[in-house]
Amino acid sequence: MSRLGKHPDSALEFFAEMSDREHAIFEAGICLASILHQLIGLPVKADDEFLKDLAEAVQRSFSLQPFRADVRIKIIKDRLKISKKYEYGIISPESLDVKVEVRYGDARAVGRLRYIDELDYPLIYVEEINP
C-alpha cells in the first residue's frame, strides 16, 4: 500500500519529489488539457439532448483515469458555431465549461476550464485546493 491508502500507486517513484497536493494539481491540469484538446473540433449539432449525451459520455470516459473523483462537462449551446445550412458545427474552446475534482492521498484539487471573455482565452486554473 502506498500513501494513496487502499490504492497502490506503482508510478509513485516518478513523482517522489511531489507532495500529494502538487500531484493532485498536476493530475487536474492533465485531465483538463486532455479534455480541451480532444474535444476541440468535434462535430456537434445544437440539440440539447445530443449535447447532454455527449457531455455525459465524455465525463464517464475521463472519470476512468486514476485519481478522478468527479468530472463535469458542460457544452454551452449558445457558444457553438453552427452552420445554418448544414445544421452542424464544431466544439470550440468558447463552448466548454469543465470542472474536474482530483483526490490524491490526503489532497483534493478542483480544476476548471472555461473561456474567459476578458482574456479571450480558454483558461485552465485551480479553483479549489485542500489541504
pLDDT in tens, 29-88: 999 999 999 999 999 999 999 999 999 999 999 999 999 999 999 999 999 989 999 999
> Rounded to 10 degrees, what is the CA torsion of 57, 62, 67, 73?
-70
Structurally, at CATH architecture level, domain 18-126 sits in 2-Layer Sandwich (3.30)
The pLDDT-based confidence of 13 (bands split at 50, 70, 90) is: confident
What pLDDT, on the 0 to 100 scale, is given for residue 2?
38
What pLDDT, on the 0 to 100 scale, is given for residue 9?
67
Q: 0.95 cut: is pTM over it?
A: no
Query: Would you kindly state where each structural domain of the chain is located, as residue ranges?
Result: 18-126
Helix, strand or coil for residue 128? strand
Give ∠ CA 111-128-80 in degrees, rounded to 5.
Answer: 40
Cβ count near 80 (within 10 Å): 18
pLDDT above 50 (res 17):
yes
pLDDT in tens, 18-28: 899 999 999 99
* Helices and strands: H and E segment counts in the chain: 2, 7
What pLDDT, on the 0 to 100 scale, is given for residue 8?
53
Rounded mean pLDDT, 80-99: 94
Amino acid at 119: L
Residue 41 grid coordinates: 473540433
Closest to 65 in 3D by CA, of 26, 122, 15: 26
